[in-house]
Amino acid sequence: MNHKSRLEKISDVQWHLEPTGKMRVPVVVYADGELLREMDDKALEQAVNVAGLPGIVKASFCMPDAHWGYGFPIGGVAAFDPSQGGVVSAGGVGFDISCGVRTLLTGLTERDVRPRLEELADGLFRAVPAGVGSTGKINLDDRRMKDMLEGGARWAVEQGWGDPADLRRTEEGGCIEGADPGAVSVRARERQRREMGTLGAGNHYLELQLVEQVFDGEIARGFGLEKGQLVVSMHCGSRGLGHQIGTDYLKEMLRAAPAHGIDLPDKELACVPIQSKVGKAYLGAMRAGINCALANRQILTCLVRGVFQQVFGPDAGNNGPWPAMLYDVSHNTCKVERHQVQGRLRELHVHRKGGTRAFGPGHPELPGEVRPFGQPVLIGGSMGTCSYILAGTTASEDEAFSSACHGAGRVMSRNQAKKQWKGRDVMEKLARQGILIRAAGFKGIAEEAPQAYKDVTRVVETAHRAGLARLVARLVPIACVKG
């Protein structure tokens, strides 16, 4: 069925697909005309399938970066009410549980950095293990593995990886409650024993970026951002552990769904009731995966700080940890949150697959320093293109359960990209633009060529115009470490 032809235009950046057939709620798509034309039909079909799941509330949402994924579209957001038979879906979270972005503030300028950029890029590449199957120096025994899965970034700080001040600028204070290491398979834990403090591969990166433009001076100052300043952004997740949790529970959900009377339009959309035995086990394992990702980014932060202090000297920063934390946001999660629906506050399980939480100004879960401005929303671009920092809005609560986009969104598969570009050519072209690339191999560079992604500027401008988040600053890369 051609779902695009049935979309009703609500505004220049919002489209609705009213329920038909097995749909329980509408589909809401945030996109301008160009993004809508680029959106693959499969992503919209998946959003329609999500709209038919038990207990779904309000709508099945597609963010401006939405594209085809596993079960749910990537860039899909959906909330479910457990009191109404709501479900949880491993495909609605994704395989890289809590893949996210963390941004650090250096206070340095391009003039400070350019003379030592090669040294800095080489140092980061040596210090941060990257690539498929990369391993670090940390080897977790069973006890430490359990503590890490329960404690997240808090555990990492207790082990000496960073500072307690970092936790204030991390979602959930660095540790989500309700993690159940016992629900994580032996295979998942084995895959993670040597992968803490590693970047991984694919679209993961560690990037040095300059603040090229400020759109909202007041919020930028509140976030500690200035034009010309260097920031460090890292994009990575829960590595092998998260992938294995997703794999394990998709199989469990597929087996369990029929017993709960769930008729799946697509086996990739496997799900179970939130309050079922399998549902509770998955949520416990998924939260352990979130904590793993938070701990991983915390360890990486410490490795990055070591390189900066080696290159610029231990006293280069101000008092406190340096480079300092701006914020850490997670994608690929299912979180219990309270939201207003039809004038009533309801406790919902909000799936964000390739979506960023975007709480508005004054939200009680935000740290006091940024609370007046709204949550920092960190949007990574594709390799070699700009990234953005936005702020959550109060309007986003009404729009899409305080959710925004998470990145550029692919328009081309990795296999297609490898056929079209050679990694060495992409790397040399970026070098001519003043962007250094350090990577474990050329194949990953070809897969992540900038042209394989949507225009991130168009994506974030759509999110801004739709009220999902507010534009604050644009960042441009000068060096990037890739897996």
Please list the active-site residues. 406
Asked, for residue 314, whether it belongs to a domain, the answer is yes
Contact present, 64 and 463 (Cβ < 8 Å): yes
Mean pLDDT, residues 118-131 taken together: 93
pTM over 0.85: yes
**Cis peptide bond N-terminal to 323, omega within 30:** yes
With DSSP H G I counted as helix, E B as strand and the rest as coil, what are the percentages for the chain, rounded to 5? 40, 25, 35
Q: Which two tokens stand for residue 71?
A: 């079960």
The DSSP 8-state label assigned to residue 394 in this structure reads H
- CA–CA separation, 377 and 405 (whole Å): 9
The pLDDT assigned to 411 comes to 66
138 vs 415: which has the higher pLDDT: 138
**Look-up of token digits 């990702």:** 293
Asked, for residue 435, whether it belongs to a domain, the answer is no
Listed in sequence order, the residues at least 6 apart from 111 whose beta carbon sits closer than 8 Å to its beta carbon are none
pLDDT tens profile 93-122: 999 999 999 999 999 999 999 999 999 999
At how many degrees (to 10) do helices 239-256 and 277-312 cross?
170
Asked, for residue 86, whether it belongs to a domain, the answer is yes
Q: What is the CATH number of the domain that holds 71?
A: 3.90.1860.10
Asked, for residue 443, whether it belongs to a domain, the answer is no
Residue 200 parent element (H or E): none
**Domain membership of residue 35 as a residue range:** 4-411+453-482
Q: Which two tokens stand for residue 59?
A: 């709508």
pLDDT tens profile 319-364: 779 999 999 999 999 999 999 998 899 999 999 999 999 999 999 9
pLDDT tens profile 199-232: 988 889 999 999 999 999 999 999 999 999 999 9
What confidence tier does 427 reach under pLDDT thresholds 50, 70, 90?
Answer: confident
What confidence tier does 384 reach under pLDDT thresholds 50, 70, 90?
Answer: confident
Mean pLDDT, residues 423-438 taken together: 82
The pLDDT assigned to 410 comes to 64
The pLDDT assigned to 318 comes to 64
Q: Smallest Cα–Cα separation from 251: which of 278, 223, 217?
A: 278
The pLDDT assigned to 426 comes to 77
Please state which of the ranges 159-168, 257-266, 392-401, 426-435 shows the lowest mean pLDDT: 426-435
Asked, for residue 43, whether it belongs to a domain, the answer is yes
The pLDDT assigned to 449 comes to 73
Question: How many domains does one find in the chain?
Answer: 1
* DSSP-H helix ranges across 62-163: 110-113, 117-127, 142-158
pLDDT of 383 > 80? The answer is no
pLDDT of 451 > 90? The answer is no
- CA–CA separation, 59 and 79 (whole Å): 8
Listed in sequence order, the residues at least 6 apart from 441 whose beta carbon sits closer than 8 Å to its beta carbon are 131, 423
pLDDT tens profile 75-85: 999 999 999 99
Asked, for residue 447, whether it belongs to a domain, the answer is no
Q: Which two tokens stand for residue 76?
A: 């899909």
CA 452, 453, 455, 461: dihedral to nearest 10 degrees? 180
Asked, for residue 290, whether it belongs to a domain, the answer is yes
**Look-up of token digits 């997703």:** 246
The pLDDT assigned to 200 comes to 87
With 0-12 / 13-18 / 19 or more C-beta atoms within 10 angstroms meaning exposed / middle / buried, residue 160 is exposed
Contact present, 348 and 193 (Cβ < 8 Å): no
**Average model confidence (pLDDT) for the chain?**
93
Contact present, 444 and 480 (Cβ < 8 Å): no
- CA–CA separation, 48 and 16 (whole Å): 11
Listed in sequence order, the residues at least 6 apart from 258 whose beta carbon sits closer than 8 Å to its beta carbon are none
Q: Which two tokens stand for residue 304?
A: 């990055």
The pLDDT assigned to 203 comes to 83
Asked, for residue 384, whether it belongs to a domain, the answer is yes
CA 453, 450, 374, 468: dihedral to nearest 10 degrees? -20
What confidence tier does 40 reach under pLDDT thresholds 50, 70, 90?
Answer: confident
